[in-house]
Structure 1
Amino acid sequence: MKIARISLDQGPRYAILDEDTHQYLVLTDDPMFGKVEVSGQRIAQDEAQLLSPMIPRSKVVGYIGSYGSAGTIEDLDMFLKPNTAVIGPDDPVILPSWAQTVRHEPELAVVISRACKDIPASRASGVIFGYTVANDVTAVAGDKARAKAFDTALPTGPVIETDLDVADLHVVSRVNGEVRREGRTSELAFSVDELVAYASTIFTLLPGDIILTGAPAGVGEIEAGDSVEVEVEGIGVVANPVMRRG
């Protein structure tokens, strides 16, 4: 099931994508906390204004070095992003005025369904609501807070896919149509369930939290005027223009 968050006159609403009719079926409630029940309202897929499918209630947890790591999971660097960094499809990534170099990082992102702490990897699937596409935009800075946490530093979308085997998905990014970074989730040194489980040993994970699983290798610099796309097989593409704050 592909769940989107769309902008309507009455405000943001969740909707399910009907891939047969290419329509979004608007839901009556937030599917994470209420019933998945359609309201009867339908929006054509090519007319829907998509928002980020999830604004984290609490936090975004990220991993660095998870592709091709030769160490233990405890050796991976971790970081946090605030929910103010999250934007949706077609929203501009605004480069900070103080950053000379900014990079994009294509990633599979995990959306957490319920509160959990110290959950074993064998039970991690039970706390996963679904998966989405993320672009972990990162500035070169002296500390991770400035590098990772500035406004617009996390495009996500276009949907949350709730039924997906993530063991071997193609992850790719393009800048101005040119492939820049590419890999497969099978190249992760640790499974998605292991990454979720380990994050829960550090933080209490809450409903709506997002876990970034890491980015494959490649050239990632972006500049004002660029268009950057991130695609994860089975979920879709999130595309954003790049601008610079004056």
Structure 2
Amino acid sequence: MTEYRRILLDGAVVEVVRDGDQLRAADGRAVELESAVHLPPVEPSKIIAVHLNHRSRVDEFQATLPPAPTYFHKPTSSLNAHNGAVVRPEGCKWLNYEGEVAIVIGRTCRNIAPADAKDHIRGYTIANDYGLHDFRDTDAGSMLRVKGSDTLCPLGPGLVTDWDFHGRTLITRVNGEVRQHGSTDEMQWDMHYLVADIARTITLYPGDVLLSGTPANSRPVQPGDVVEVEVDGLGVLRNHIVNGPTAVRTDVGAQPTESEEVRSTALGGDWEFRGIRPPRR
């Protein structure tokens, strides 16, 4: 496996390779791992995320999985990096973490079989698919502001090639305390399936990112919290939460709300999936 990172090195954006505790550029320059200023490891043209995929998350919501995965889009303006600040806008309170594995496309991909998807994947990285549930009442269909607001898509710290996604543990910690503990083996649809499914009608280009879903126990975090997502073989993605300096404008658009749906979804209730629960026996 090789781990690539994108960092600022002497004021320029440089792709480097991890070599133990150092990051080395192709011209021989090196920087210590912990002192590097990280950027997102890739520059995608699009970021596509799957809804329910981990069985623990399905059980938490007392839901049933649909017959095929469903997706939403995160704009590239939501990108963030390892050690970056995740901004919770002033006036909002329901910002949830969601630790995930991200798939990075390596070759243009369209209309392929799942068995061929591996040949179109460059590698994998870690994602934290933050959700600003204050806007769920108005954006529940598109998830645009819920999942697409600025800074809500940290990726990193690096991109790892030749990584086997089977049997990998995913752990999310808040201030050092374990909040999520899951495995890639509990995913209903694996990485290859997700790539092939999207590529049936949407061309995927090198650098594009697919987020593969989160396990149970996504919960709100507060300004000052430090959130870490650790995945076997991919490292640790770390971010901290800050309060936005200004409130969401009140002279245009829908405003943050705190309905039963907002609270229930943010705190792990079943509101979002009422009506698609399995029948009680």
Query: 1: CA distance between counterparts of 2:222 and 2:198?
Result: 32
Q: Does the Cα contact within 8 Å between 1:111 and 1:129 map onto a contact in 2?
A: yes
- Which amino acid is the alignment partner of residue 176 of structure 2? G
| Cα distance per residue 1:192-246 (max 9 Å; x no partner) | 1111111112421111100000000014211111111111110111111101213
Q: Sequence identity, in percent?
A: 34
1:55 Cα deviation after fit: 2.4
Q: Does 1:60 align with 2:60?
A: no
- 1:153-168 maps to which residues of 2 (within 5 A)? 153-168=152-167
Query: 1: CA distance between counterparts of 2:205 and 2:190?
Result: 20
| Cα distance per residue 1:136-176 (max 9 Å; x no partner) | 00011231011010000011111100021101111110111
- 1:214-233 maps to which residues of 2 (within 5 A)? 214-233=213-232
Q: Runs of 5+ in structure 1 lacking a partner? A: 27-37
Query: 2: CA distance between counterparts of 1:175 and 1:73?
Result: 33
Greater strand content: 1
Query: 2: CA distance between counterparts of 1:200 and 1:96?
Result: 34
Rg larger in structure:
2
RMSD of the TM alignment (CA)?
1.5
The partner residue of 1:96 within 89, 92, 108 is 89
- 1:64-83 maps to which residues of 2 (within 5 A)? 64-68=51-55, 71=65, 74=68, 76-83=69-76
Change (3 A) 1:241 1:117: same
- Which amino acid is the alignment partner of residue 157 of structure 1? G
SS in 2 for 1:196: helix
1:49 Cα deviation after fit: 1.9
Partner of 2:254: none
| Cα distance per residue 1:31-78 (max 9 Å; x no partner) | xxxxxxx2222222233222211121x11000011112654552x331
Query: 1: CA distance between counterparts of 2:16 and 2:67?
Result: 36
- 1:1-246 maps to which residues of 2 (within 5 A)? 1-19=2-20, 22-26=21-25, 38-56=26-44, 58-68=45-55, 71=65, 74=68, 76-140=69-133, 141-142=136-137, 143=139, 144-245=143-244, 246=246
Query: 1: CA distance between counterparts of 2:219 and 2:108?
Result: 34
Change (3 A) 1:162 1:73: farther
1:10 Cα deviation after fit: 3.9
- Which amino acid is the alignment partner of residue 192 of structure 1? M
Q: Runs of 5+ in structure 2 lacking a partner? A: 59-63, 247-281
Q: Structure 1 residues 90-99 or 145-154, which shifts more?
A: 90-99
Query: 1: CA distance between counterparts of 2:22 and 2:127?
Result: 23
Query: 1: CA distance between counterparts of 2:158 and 2:29?
Result: 18
SS in 2 for 1:66: coil
Query: 1: CA distance between counterparts of 2:211 and 2:67?
Result: 14
SS in 1 for 2:29: strand
Query: 2: CA distance between counterparts of 1:235 and 1:94?
Result: 24
1:98 Cα deviation after fit: 4.8
Query: 1: CA distance between counterparts of 2:175 and 2:204?
Result: 36
Change (3 A) 1:13 1:101: same
Query: 1: CA distance between counterparts of 2:38 and 2:149?
Result: 22
Query: 1: CA distance between counterparts of 2:121 and 2:40?
Result: 18
